[in-house]
């Protein structure tokens, strides 16, 4: 599955940026592939790119409409159906990260059949995933891991891809969640894979590559998350990472959305790193961490400086907030190691 | 999903005991629910119970035909179709642990529709599995874990259920694989669950129970298995085990079926136990091991004695081979702890 650019980003009638993360992320990370945006009456989000109706898009050579909105519940709003069907009729592939399947809407399915376009549900994994083998693949791999969900694993991985490319390295972001897949244009929604094939899916996602090539793999969940740790471990084993970056929110005390009736504290970076390496070394003896990625947006300068010192001392690793500092320190670390 | 006893065990034309493990296991562990066996010409396996044709079974009040054979590839042999359809027409539920769906065979599907019986594929997980919550449940849980696949996790769990019941404890075996599910009459094929719902499935499998009740949960795979560790961790987290038993084959050097091109050594018991506890304590602070279960069938008496001493010293735990010694030592350990 490979998405066809250029894209029309569909925002529908979304009311706020929090629910338009997918579309805004696409524009942020793949601006050059986004030909325009389409907004319905009532839409309060603006991606800052050219406004297009479906006819404009077809005329401009747009190949796919990407649904850039993720309402709570993951459903496709009835208000979008006519637009999506019109886009399909106009020859655009329709790409969705929702739980509901595009083909389950008769009007959209009929339009796609008629014009021969693809309806792509990026959450649906490929059918031919093998059982993992643990077999060593060529090329290098970096995996972002976390102390919780929503601690910047995707953002950090995308930042690392960008920094590596800026330094002239061969690097590809490998997506494991629906927004990441839309940004990358391909990938596997790892949490939708049947459990038996978890590590096999991760192996498929980052195949053998030239010796100096880096796959930068988007992590999922956390080894310490009682809902999703199995996904995290299957992804860790299948990724066989040479390098890892830990993503952490220093202001978060408990796992997100798990506060009641039972709370789970976020595990401190050092404990997280040690357990993660104990597991990763089963498939790659050289696995090591090269950085701690923090979200410090809510902290003052002095609080931030103190935290950086604390984590650097605790872990012996470079510490950075990718939004404020970039991820240069992590890549410097990799360069230093390679120079040794 | 709950199977209806009594059962007719179907051996078809199976050539050897290794491929008839499911049926033989059913007769071994649930003899009282097995009314008879049915064997086709060429069958070379004998479960030692009453021989029945389908008419006999219907007359004797048999409620379900269980396919007791597992050919390599997990497919349903064309030679069985007529028998299975006849059994369905005679009013028996048909129960299969194969990969192929029973309903995908038109003759069987038509027979089942006609007589209103159920076609049960035990590998198919229920549709309503929630995401795991990590919420503490009442009752006690024991999980068998392993250093590899096929090291006695199911056998050990079934032996523990039997021993606990013999001592008057309230205990239920909880099945996570197809043979276990047939033996238990219910359960969830955990490796067939969509990854996002792994720990949720394990939580569903062993619901809240009276304080002194033990769920004895069949483990799957190994945390050190590059193909299946994600499944093992999801099951570990969702099970929230109070007690664990490590299953190990002391004569096996490498993971089964993973010898080429890359081999993976079996991890020594102590290392396995430590990592397992580090992960289990995220969901149950009181998790601890109560025994090491060995397969020693190929060893001499003196080799066995030496090994028991070695593992007992290494782990500080009771060591037993459930086939030779039973699992009394593990339950003694639980009793001693409870007495303290």
A208: region left, alpha or beta (phi > 0 left; psi from -120 to 50 alpha): beta
Tell me: pLDDT of A260 over 80: no
Structure-block tokens of residue A120: 């792509």
Name the nearest CA neighbour of B226 among B262, B273, B275, B181: B262
Q: Which of B73, B130, B195, B272 to mutate to test the interface with A (most CBs of A within 10 A)?
A: B195
B220 and B313 in a single domain? The answer is yes
CATH label of the domain that carries residue A83: 3.40.50.720
Q: pLDDT category, A169, cuts 50, 70, 90?
A: very high
Please say whether the beta carbons of B65 and B95 come within 8 A: yes
Query: For chain B, how big is the Rg over CA atoms in Å?
Result: 20
CB contact under 8 A, B192 and A191: no
For residue B133, tell me if it sits in a domain: no
A221 and A330 in a single domain? The answer is yes
For residue A213, tell me if it sits in a domain: yes
A97 and A226 in a single domain? The answer is no
The mean pLDDT of chain A is 96
Tell me: pLDDT of B132 over 90: yes
Q: Which helix (H) or strand (E) holds A254?
A: none
A206 and A273 in a single domain? The answer is yes
For residue B219, tell me if it sits in a domain: yes
Name the nearest CA neighbour of B52 among B90, B15, B79: B90
pLDDT tens profile B148-170: 999 999 999 999 999 999 999 99
Nearest to B133 among A191, A227, A231 (CB): A227
Name the nearest CA neighbour of B264 among A265, A328, A103, A285: A285
Structure-block tokens of residue B113: 């529709």
ipTM for the complex?
0.95
Question: Which regions of B48-135 does DSSP assign to beta strands (E)?
Answer: 64-67, 93-96, 119-121
A275 and A170 in a single domain? The answer is yes
Q: What b/e string do you get for A252-263 counting C-beta neighbours within 10 Å, with b at 16 or more? A: eeebeebeeeee
Mean pLDDT for B177-184 is 96
Give the pLDDT score at A226: 97
**Minimum mean pLDDT range among A13-22, A83-92, A305-314, B306-315:** A13-22
Nearest to B229 among A233, A258, A262 (CB): A233
Cα(B16)–Cα(A48) distance, integer angstroms: 69
Tell me: pLDDT of A95 over 90: yes
Give the pLDDT score at A340: 60
Give the pLDDT score at B99: 85
B154 and B114 in a single domain? The answer is no
For residue A130, tell me if it sits in a domain: no
Mean pLDDT for B181-187 is 97
Tell me: pLDDT of B340 over 70: no
B332 and B281 in a single domain? The answer is yes
pLDDT tens profile B218-233: 999 999 999 999 999 9
Q: Give the range of the structural domain holding residue B31, as residue numbers without chain letter.
A: 7-121
- Of A67, A92, A121, the residue that ends a domain is A121
Give the pLDDT score at A1: 80
A85 and A152 in a single domain? The answer is no
Cα(B148)–Cα(B266) distance, integer angstroms: 7
Phi, psi (degrees; rounded to nearest 5) at B55 = -65, -45
A200 and A228 in a single domain? The answer is yes
How many domains is chain A built from? 2
A105 and A212 in a single domain? The answer is no
Measured between CA atoms, the residue of chain B closest to residue A124 is B194
For residue A285, tell me if it sits in a domain: yes
Helix (H, G, I), strand (E, B) or coil at B35: strand
Interface membership of B227 toward A (CB under 8 Å): yes
Q: pLDDT category, B261, cuts 50, 70, 90?
A: confident
CATH label of the domain that carries residue A265: 3.40.50.300
CB contact under 8 A, B199 and A264: no
Residues 170-189 of B with CB under 8 A from A: none
Tell me: pLDDT of A293 over 90: yes
For residue B39, tell me if it sits in a domain: yes
For residue B300, tell me if it sits in a domain: yes
For residue B84, tell me if it sits in a domain: yes
DSSP one-letter code for B116: T
Kindly report the number of other CB atoms within 10 A of residue B50's CB atom. Answer: 13
Interface membership of A198 toward B (CB under 8 Å): yes
CB contact under 8 A, A233 and B228: no
A184 and A100 in a single domain? The answer is no
A81 and A36 in a single domain? The answer is yes
């Amino acid at each position: 599955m490979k998405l066809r650019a250029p894209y029309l980003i569909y925002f529908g009638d979304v009311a706020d940026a929090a629910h338009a993360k997918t579309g805004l992320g696409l524009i942020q990370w793949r601006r050059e592939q986004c030909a325009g945006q389409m907004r319905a009456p009532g839409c309060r989000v603006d991606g800052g790119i050219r406004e297009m109706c479906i006819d404009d898009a077809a005329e401009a050579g747009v190949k796919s409409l990407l649904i850039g909105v993720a309402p709570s519940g993951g459903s496709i709003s009835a208000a979008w159906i006519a637009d999506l069907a019109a886009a399909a009729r106009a020859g655009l592939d329709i790409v969705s990260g929702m739980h509901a399947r595009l083909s389950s809407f008769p009007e959209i399915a009929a339009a796609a059949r008629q014009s021969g376009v693809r309806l792509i549900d990026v959450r649906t994994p490929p059918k031919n995933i093998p059982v993992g083998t643990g077999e060593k693949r060529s090329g290098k791999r970096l995996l972002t891991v976390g102390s919780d969900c929503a601690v910047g694993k995707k953002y950090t991985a995308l930042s690392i891809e960008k920094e590596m490319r800026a330094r002239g390295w061969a690097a590809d972001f490998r997506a494991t969640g629906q927004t990441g897949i839309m940004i990358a244009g391909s990938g596997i929604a790892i949490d939708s894979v049947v459990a038996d094939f978890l590590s096999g899916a991760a192996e498929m996602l980052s195949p053998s590559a030239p010796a100096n090539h880096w796959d930068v793999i988007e992590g999922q969940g956390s080894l310490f998350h009682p809902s999703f740790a199995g996904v995290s471990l299957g992804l860790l084993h299948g990724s066989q990472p040479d390098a890892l970056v830990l993503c952490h929110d220093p202001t978060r005390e408990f796992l997100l959305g798990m506060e009641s009736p039972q709370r789970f504290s976020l595990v401190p970076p050092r404990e997280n790193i040690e357990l993660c390496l104990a597991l990763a070394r089963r498939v790659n003896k050289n696995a090591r961490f090269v950085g701690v990625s923090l979200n410090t947006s809510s902290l003052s300068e002095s609080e931030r400086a103190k935290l950086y010192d604390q984590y650097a001392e605790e872990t012996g690793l470079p510490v950075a907030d990718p939004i404020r500092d970039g991820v240069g320190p992590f890549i410097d670390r990799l360069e230093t190691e390679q120079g040794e």
